Amino acid sequence: MIALEFNFNVLTRDLPVYLENQVKIGLFGSGVGLSLVLGFSAAYACYYLIAVAKKPQLIGGGKKFCEFLREQCPVVSETYYPTFWCWESRVQTLLRPFVTAKPWVTYRNELIRAADGGQISLDWFDNDDSAAYPDPVTRPTVLLLPGLTGTSRESYILHMVQQSRELGYRCVVFNNRGVAGEQLLTPRTYCAANTEDLEAVIEHVYRSSEGAPMMAAGVSMGGMMLANYLGRKGQDTCLRGVVVFSAGWDVFECTASLEKPLDRFLFNSYLTSCLQASVDRHRTVLEKCFDIDHVMKAKTIREFDERFTSIMFGYPTNEDYYQDASPVHRLKSVQVPMLCLNAADDVFSPHHAIPVEAVKQNPNLALLITCHGGHIGFLEGLWPRRSTYMDRVFRQFAKAVIENGSSLRDL
């Protein structure tokens, strides 16, 4: 019995050592495991460099604008290297809010009245410490428009404010009605087709600093609104230039793409719930004009628009609203230099709906298409905390328009 207990103790004591040695010998000592790891790594690196990391495609309606971009914005000609461990479209889209840092920004809030009696919330970053432009009268102003349910606190907005801070510019974020915590005074929110609030904001911001150059940047629905605004106004605008990120150009194609099973599960249902939450916060004002209980039962963005948005803005049908909201129909009328960045793998704005031919017909337009990047993703680098490809495009284009935009006259 004593001998048996001794042998058992020896066996249990030496078993972990034995197994550890066998694993080392079996996987790496023999070289087989190491060869597999190295082989897989080499294959993945080759695939990444051949199929993933590529130069973006620059498409323009005129030679002059494209030459300006290549000279003033070298990022448009550089290879875009998506973060190697998350280059897939949906992963980029989902991870960006979590992996990118949120720079600390202190805003000055301003509420302005709209023509219908409603109020619009503007968040100003005055940049009074600007060394490049110490005089606030001449300090350039950048107007920023967030996405569908976004506010001035979105990471992509904070990054653009940070880039503008470093350039010495002032920023103002246009928050759509009812999303930034302000009270809704009238039964009206916002949509991509109606640009009345945007027109009022641009006029107000310009009057606040008439001696300063002004440009704008819009993200997702904010970009759609900006494009529709420019298409309506032509040359009758104070904006020197516009940059648009991840815009949906054809709303019919965008909603159809988001209704595919996987994308409906990952994105559509969540965004619908965000829209409904905003409506529910202002139920006491909105329920006088809309069937809020019916709106709260919507399962998709399309159903939400059918029950709420299209009705609010007086469209006979939701199809009429989507037709009017699609910027692709107004691109021919844009008379201000506008750069548009889209990813070919963006499920919100599918590749086949990117308006390549329409852009080719207007010398004021340029379209930059990356193979990867997702929707407002454009992550790059090993750990993309501080900056993205989109941030670099914004910074270079903003600086080019503000400081060298005179060369873009008479495109």
Q: What is the pLDDT of residue 393?
A: 98
Contact 132, 398 (CB under 8 A): no
User: Is 0.85 topped by the overall pTM?
Assistant: yes
Report the DSSP beta bridge partners of residue 340: 244, 367
Three-state SS at 149: coil
Report the DSSP beta bridge partners of residue 172: 124, 143
The C-alpha atoms of residue 6 and residue 9 are separated, in whole angstroms, by 5
* ∠ CA 19-21-25, rounded to 5°: 115
The C-alpha atoms of residue 94 and residue 101 are separated, in whole angstroms, by 15
Q: Which residues are catalytic?
A: 220, 346, 375
Strands (E), 44-160: 57-60, 108-113, 119-125, 141-145
The series of mean pLDDT values per 10 residues for the chain, 411 residues long, is 42 44 48 80 88 96 94 97 94 94 96 96 97 95 97 97 98 97 96 98 93 95 98 96 98 98 97 97 96 98 98 98 98 97 97 97 98 97 90 98 88 78
Q: What is the pLDDT of residue 29?
A: 52
The C-alpha atoms of residue 248 and residue 328 are separated, in whole angstroms, by 9
Whether residue 31 is contained in a domain is answered as no
Same domain, 191 and 304: no
Same domain, 236 and 299: no
Same domain, 152 and 169: yes
Same domain, 257 and 246: no
Same domain, 211 and 72: yes
Whether residue 19 is contained in a domain is answered as no
Amino acid code (one letter) for 50: I
How far does CA 295 lie from the centroid of its chain?
26
Report the DSSP beta bridge partners of residue 57: 369
Number of domains the chain is built from: 2
Same domain, 355 and 226: yes
Same domain, 288 and 166: no
Whether residue 356 is contained in a domain is answered as yes
Whether residue 368 is contained in a domain is answered as yes
> Over the range 223-233, which residues count as b (16 or more CB within 10 Å of their CB) and which as e?
bbbbbbbbbeb
Whether residue 336 is contained in a domain is answered as yes
Whether residue 26 is contained in a domain is answered as no
The C-alpha atoms of residue 102 and residue 127 are separated, in whole angstroms, by 18
Best CA proximity match to 100, nearest among 45, 154, 24, 46:
154
198, two tokens? 């945007």
Final residue of a domain: which of 303, 325, 347?
325
Task: Please provide the size of the chain in residues.
Answer: 411
Final residue of a domain: which of 275, 302, 325?
325
Q: What is the pLDDT of residue 383?
A: 87
Three-state SS at 105: coil
Three-state SS at 391: helix
Amino acid code (one letter) for 8: F
Q: What is the pLDDT of residue 27?
A: 46
Same domain, 295 and 343: no
Best CA proximity match to 379, nearest among 77, 160, 103, 100:
100
List strands edge to edge, sheet with 214-219.
57-60, 365-370, 338-343, 242-245, 214-219, 141-145, 170-175, 119-125, 108-113
Same domain, 181 and 317: no
DSSP H or E segment with residue 175: strand 170-175
Final residue of a domain: which of 325, 358, 388?
325
Contact 167, 132 (CB under 8 A): yes
Whether residue 391 is contained in a domain is answered as yes
How far does CA 85 lie from the centroid of its chain?
21
Whether residue 194 is contained in a domain is answered as yes
Q: What is the pLDDT of residue 30?
A: 55
Same domain, 113 and 231: yes
Same domain, 288 and 349: no
**How far, in Å, are 35, 45, 48, 84 from residue 41 at the CA level?**
10, 6, 10, 12
Contact 89, 136 (CB under 8 A): no
DSSP H or E segment with residue 57: strand 57-60
User: At how many degrees (to 10) do helices 196-208 and 221-233 cross?
Assistant: 80
How far does CA 405 lie from the centroid of its chain?
24
Residue range of the domain that includes 313:
251-325
Same domain, 194 and 96: yes
Best CA proximity match to 262, nearest among 61, 91, 62, 70:
91
306, two tokens? 């059918």
Domain CATH code at residue 347: 3.40.50.1820
